[in-house]
């Protein structure tokens, strides 16, 4: 692989301090997409600094949406909504590395009376899109692809609401179909096999839409108008996971995380870490446009093991890489099941985790749909591949904190996909 950079991580003796995280990526994507099709202006404070969310902004600009990044602190994005109708792009919509952008925005462009071509980088071009293509075609969109992968050519307009049972639990697909349902005639009903994160539903309500949820089904009526909002995006819980796991590695650690997303459909990570032995207390809890945010106080303790399976796997799909990376340091180890979805992320994350753990001297059993990683292991520093995957690069930077000797993360620049400030923030929290 042709890497632009590599990062050296040395062992630490403790983690302490306070951290405020960039805005949650899942919420940032959804808020700015809805701001684009709302009536009137929106102001989004603490918008994600990641490259994926910048890709969403660039695509919206190509669709005629006027937005501006305000100078100064707070990473504020101001958007002038275009109403439900956008402008035909004069060039392909470049989604970069962002599966979130291409999947969720496809629901909006499918409701527009023009043709859009959605493209991405080499990694995105390998990712499966049939799970959005199939239902959007059923709603009336004309979509062509490269054997179910990007680029996608979408000719939209005149969508009809459908009753769709999702074969695979995916919050991105659900959001895509809710957005398309907003632009369709009639009612769209979406059934989930497992309950997924509800940021799409919460965001739609924040912008004024009405939805109905019964059990694992959510319904939206087409043609509703949205209004602009002023919103503070809570700190990204998936990014916080790396620092929480870093603190978990050291019994004497003390960490404070402010303005952190506490959405119940995302907070399963905290439950798992508490069960494993991390001490967590929550203060200053408040609700912002339907999303809960608070301050976490963290103290490290002895780490037991965990089994992640079923609905927990769906809830923790983004956090599994870092949990697996610290698994050898736990007492009983960690077993991951029902996680075949990890094989079609930015990298084959099951394989990537296994390769890097073995490079550090760990025993690991790789399975088709997961991993079994024994506890009580001692790891050594090594030269590790990021595989161009931001979560792999960051996860093994955390594993390196307890390893013997120096670790080099090759291709560390990919962390900027979700968290450009990651390495400097980590450096400020570790004690050596």
- For residue 148, the SS3 value is coil
* CA distance linking residue 290 with residue 46, whole number of Å: 16
Average pLDDT, the chain: 96
Question: Tell me, what DSSP letter sits at residue 18?
Answer: E
Q: Of the residues 165, 199, 231, which one is the last residue of a structural domain?
A: 231
Mean pLDDT value of segment 220-236? 97
> Is 377 found in the same domain as 261?
yes
Same domain, yes or no, for 109 and 241?
Answer: no
Say if residue 1's pLDDT is above 60: no
Indicate if the pLDDT at residue 195 is higher than 90: no
Whether residue 222 is predicted with pLDDT greater than 60 in this model: the reply is yes
Same domain, 109 and 212: yes
> d(Cα 430, Cα 432) in Å, to the nearest integer?
7
Looking up residue 402, the CATH number of its domain turns out to be: 3.65.10.10
- Catalytically active residues are 318
Clarify whether residues 209 and 336 are in a common domain: no
Q: How many domains does the chain have?
A: 2
List the single range of 2-6, 358-362, 374-378, 408-412 with lowest mean pLDDT: 2-6
pLDDT of residue 194: 87
Q: 226 and 354 share a domain?
A: no
Q: What is the pLDDT of residues 133-172, one digit of tens each?
A: 999 999 999 999 999 999 999 999 899 999 999 999 899 9
Facing residues of 93 across strands? Answer: 118
| Residue 338: other Cβ atoms inside 10 A | 15
* Model confidence at 4: pLDDT above 70: no
pLDDT for the residue numbered 3: 56
What is the pLDDT confidence band of residue 74, given thresholds at 50, 70 and 90? confident
What residue numbers bound the domain in which 165 lies? 25-231
Gap between the terminal Cα atoms of the chain: 32
pLDDT of residue 131: 96
The answer on 427 and 279 residing in a single domain is yes
Q: Mind listing the pLDDT tens digit for each residue in 334-388?
A: 999 999 999 999 999 999 999 999 999 999 999 999 999 999 999 999 999 999 9
| % of residues, the chain, pLDDT over 90 | 93
Give the position of tokens 């809710």: 178
3-state secondary structure of 329: helix
For the chain, the farthest-separated pair of C-alpha atoms sits apart, in whole angstroms, at: 61
Sheet containing 217-221, strands listed edge to edge, beginning at the edge strand earlier in sequence: 163-165, 187-191, 217-221, 211-214
Q: Which of 65-74, 199-208, 243-252, 257-266 has the lowest mean pLDDT?
A: 65-74
| Whole-number Å distance between alpha carbons of 390 and 201 | 27
Say what the pTM is. 0.90
- Whether the pLDDT of residue 21 is over 90: the answer is yes
> Rounded distance, CA 28 to CA 67, Å?
14
Using CA atoms, how far apart are residues 208 and 340, in angstroms rounded to an integer? 36
- Residue at which a domain ends, from 231, 262, 291: 231
Asked if pLDDT for residue 191 goes beyond 90, the answer is yes
| Stretch 12-38: mean pLDDT | 97
pLDDT of residue 409: 97
Q: Would you state the pLDDT for residue 265?
A: 86
pLDDT at 305 over 60: yes
Residues 178 and 240 in one domain: no
Say if 1 falls within a structural domain: no
Residues 57 and 15 in one domain: no
Q: Are 113 and 158 part of one and the same domain?
A: yes
Query: How does pLDDT run across 84-108, given as a tens digit for each residue?
Result: 999 999 999 999 999 999 999 999 9
């Amino acid at each position: 692989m042709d890497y632009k950079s590599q990062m050296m991580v040395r062992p630490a003796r403790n983690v302490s301090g306070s951290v405020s995280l960039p805005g949650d990526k899942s919420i940032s994507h959804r808020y700015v997409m809805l701001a684009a099709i709302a009536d009137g202006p929106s102001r989004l404070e603490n918008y994600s600094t990641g490259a994926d969310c910048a890709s969403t902004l660039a695509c919206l600009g190509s669709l005629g949406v006027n937005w501006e990044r305000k100078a100064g602190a707070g990473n504020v994005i101001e958007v002038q909504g275009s109403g439900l109708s956008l402008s035909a792009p004069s060039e392909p919509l470049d989604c970069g590395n962002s599966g979130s952008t291409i999947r969720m925005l496809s629901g909006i462009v499918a409701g527009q009376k023009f043709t859009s071509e959605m493209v991405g980088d080499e990694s995105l071009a390998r990712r499966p899109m049939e799970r959005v293509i199939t239902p959007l075609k059923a709603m009336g969109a004309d979509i062509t692809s490269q054997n179910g992968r990007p680029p996608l050519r979408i000719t939209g307009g005149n969508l009809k609401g459908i009753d769709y049972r999702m074969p695979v639990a995916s919050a991105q697909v659900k959001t895509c179909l809710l957005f398309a349902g907003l632009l369709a005639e009639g009612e769209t009903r979406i059934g989930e096999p497992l309950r997924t994160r509800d940021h799409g539903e919460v965001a739609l309500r924040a912008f004024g839409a009405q939805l109905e949820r019964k059990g694992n089904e959510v319904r939206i009526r087409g043609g509703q108008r949205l209004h602009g909002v002023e919103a503070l995006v809570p700190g990204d819980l998936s990014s916080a996971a790396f620092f929480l796991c870093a603190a978990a590695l050291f019994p004497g650690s003390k960490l404070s995380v402010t303005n952190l997303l506490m959405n119940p459909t995302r907070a399963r990570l905290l439950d798992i870490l508490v069960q494993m032995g991390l001490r967590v207390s929550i203060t200053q809890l408040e609700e912002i446009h339907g999303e809960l945010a608070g301050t976490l106080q963290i103290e490290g303790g002895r780490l037991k093991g965990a089994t992640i399976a079923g609905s927990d796997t769906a809830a923790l799909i983004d956090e599994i890489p870092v949990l697996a990376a610290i698994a050898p340091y736990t007492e009983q180890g960690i077993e991951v099941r029902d996680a075949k979805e990890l094989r079609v992320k930015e990298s084959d994350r099951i394989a990537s985790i296994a390769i890097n753990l073995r490079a550090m001297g760990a025993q690991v059993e790789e399975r088709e749909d997961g991993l079994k990683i024994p506890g009580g292991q001692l790891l050594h520093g090594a030269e590790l591949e990021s595989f161009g995957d931001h979560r792999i690069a960051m996860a093994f930077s955390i594993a390196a904190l307890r390893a013997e000797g120096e670790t080099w993360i090759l291709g560390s620049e990919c962390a900027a996909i979700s968290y450009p400030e990651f390495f400097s923030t980590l450096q400020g929290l570790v004690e050596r």
